[in-house]
């Protein structure tokens, strides 16, 4: 397993070991000791799977309180995956990191608590799995506008398919609640 920093030092790109032969491949998706050694700890309390079509953009989502860390991976198709630091007081507040995750590259992205998360599908469909460090709570769910000009994410889709909630999400500067940066 190799770990790479992204544009945001706390958001990690993980390239798991993948063992392949003519029959297919094998990959450990999670092994506690390996991830703890690089600072990704659970406990993980919920696993999710979503399927989306080409051009679908989901995000930018976060929970507060009840912030979730997310370990994300694509198991079919490809997405452009984004994390945005929304922790008030952080030196990287409002900055983003984005990576292509696909079934072919097997990459995972670690999005720590306190970051908003979103992705857009760049293949015909994509199956997206993610482990969460806190359970989903509808009362804690919030969103930031995907095209907030202050964040300026360079999405690879010009006319994304959005939910009503994502279409009407506030800009970061107008968010009614945000997490606070706590130095480690």
Task: Write down the catalytic residue from 61, 106, 117, 142.
Answer: 61
Percent residues over pLDDT 70 in the chain: 100
**pLDDT band at 164; cut points 50, 70, 90:** very high
The pLDDT of residue 183 is: 87
Q: Is the pTM of this model over 0.75?
A: yes
pLDDT digits (tens, 9 = 90+) for 71-116: 999 999 999 999 999 999 999 999 999 999 999 999 999 999 999 9
**pLDDT band at 54; cut points 50, 70, 90:** very high
Structural tokens at position 136? 């989903």
Q: How far is it, in rounded angstroms, from Cα 90 to Cα 88?
A: 6
Going along the chain from its start, the domains and CATH numbers come out as 2-17+42-157 (2.60.120.10)
Q: How far is it, in rounded angstroms, from Cα 97 to Cα 83?
A: 5
The pLDDT of residue 144 is: 98
Annotated active-site residue 181? The verdict is no
For the cut 80, the answer to whether the pLDDT of residue 184 exceeds it is no
Task: Write down the catalytic residue from 35, 106, 117, 130.
Answer: 130
Q: Where are the beta strands (DSSP E) in 31-161?
A: 46-53, 57-63, 70-76, 78-85, 96-102, 108-111, 115-121, 125-132, 141-143
Structural tokens at position 18? 């993948």
Cis peptide before 60 (omega within 30 of 0): yes
pLDDT digits (tens, 9 = 90+) for 104-149: 999 999 999 999 999 999 999 999 999 999 999 999 999 999 999 9
Percent residues over pLDDT 90 in the chain: 96
Annotated active-site residue 61? The verdict is yes
Q: How far is it, in rounded angstroms, from Cα 68 to Cα 114?
A: 7
CB 112 within 8 A of CB 11: yes
Q: Which of 156, 154, 150 is nearest to 171 (CA)?
A: 150
CB 169 within 8 A of CB 144: yes
């Amino acid at each position: 397993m190799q770990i790479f920093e992204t544009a945001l030092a706390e958001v990690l790109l993980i390239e798991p070991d993948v063992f392949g032969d003519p029959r297919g491949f094998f990959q450990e998706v999670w092994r506690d000791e390996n991830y703890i050694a690089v600072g990704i700890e659970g406990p993980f309390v919920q696993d999710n799977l979503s399927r989306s079509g080409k051009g679908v953009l989901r995000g930018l989502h976060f929970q507060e309180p009840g912030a979730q860390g997310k370990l994300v991976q694509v198991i079919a198709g490809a997405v452009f995956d984004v994390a945005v630091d929304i922790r008030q007081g952080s030196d990287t507040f409002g900055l983003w990191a984005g990576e292509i995750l696909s079934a072919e590259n097997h990459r995972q992205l670690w999005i720590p608590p306190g970051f908003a998360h979103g992705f857009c599908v760049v293949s015909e469909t994509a199956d997206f799995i993610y482990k969460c460090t806190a359970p989903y709570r509808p009362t804690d769910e919030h969103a930031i506008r995907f095209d907030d000009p202050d964040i300026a994410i360079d999405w690879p889709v010009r006319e994304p398919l959005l939910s009503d909630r994502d279409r009407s999400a506030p800009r970061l500067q107008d968010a009614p609640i945000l997490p606070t940066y706590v130095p480690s």
